[in-house]
A and B are shown apart, each in its own frame.
Chain A
Amino acid sequence: KQEVTQIPAALSVPEGENLVLNCSFTDSAIYNLQWFRQDPGKGLTSLLLIQSSQREQTSGRLNASLDKSSGRSTLYIAASQPGDSATYLCAVRHTNAGKSTFGDGTTLTVKP
């Protein structure tokens, strides 16, 4: 059974810092890994999707990496802003047609 862990559960940083969020999974036989953002009281918004054959994906100030062999992914946020404050979740898809397993998320607070 796939287990997805996100550490830390919460993180508080001052504005302008670069930061890394971690996601680990127990079964390396994955199809893709996706990072989502969730704002309080709202649904999830997809940030980046990495296929199993890829090592990283970038979008603006966000960079996600994937190391299947070690069962790890990281989300790097450059020059953090208060607007980045949210919960970040990673989700691992097992097969082409399978469901995704979500981590419990890291709640990020960026202080002005």
Chain B
Amino acid sequence: EAGVAQSPRYKIIEKRQSVAFWCNPISGHATLYWYQQILGQGPKLLIQFQNNGVVDDSQLPKDRFSAERLKGVDSTLKIQPAKLEDSAVYLCASSAVWRAVSGKDTQYFGPGTRLTVL
């Protein structure tokens, strides 16, 4: 079974530029998550999708971050314009369901995209 795919793996941009990340979840997984992980910290949830609808985006800085999940499969996360403090690893994860039922909410993580903002 293929895992969660993310691209690019690394990205370096200057502040005020825009950037986009792509995620392809495990086939058949209805729930998709985007996390931001700053160096030395645990992941922080940015947005959670159930199919192509948003379940939780309470921690997404909506003035500069946006995300979409077209057709309930692939997802893109965009930052425009980027700030220095956006330097982090952006992790995508997917799970079969979003409710914690019989462990089926176990999240499978992709390798992440490391963003450096100069």
Contacts and interface: CB of A to CB of B under 8 A. Distances in A.
A12 to B, nearest CB: 17
Interface stretch (B41-49, B61-69, B80-88): B41-49
Contact of B98 (A31, A41, A46, A97): A97
A97 B56 CA distance: 10
Interface in A57-104: 89, 91, 93, 96-97, 99-100, 102-104
A105 B103 CA distance: 22
A49 interface: yes
Interface stretch (B13-21, B71-79, B108-116): B108-116
| Binding site secondary structure of chain A | strand
A49 B109 contact: no
A44 interface: yes
A4 B42 contact: yes
B110 A100 contact: no
A46 B48 contact: no
B99 A103 contact: no
Interface string A13-56: 00000000000000000011010000001111110010000000
Contacts of B48: 99
B55 to A, nearest CB: 8
B4 A96 contact: no
Identify which of A4, A43, A46, A97 gathers the most chain B CB atoms within 10 Å of its CB.
A43
A82 B23 CA distance: 32
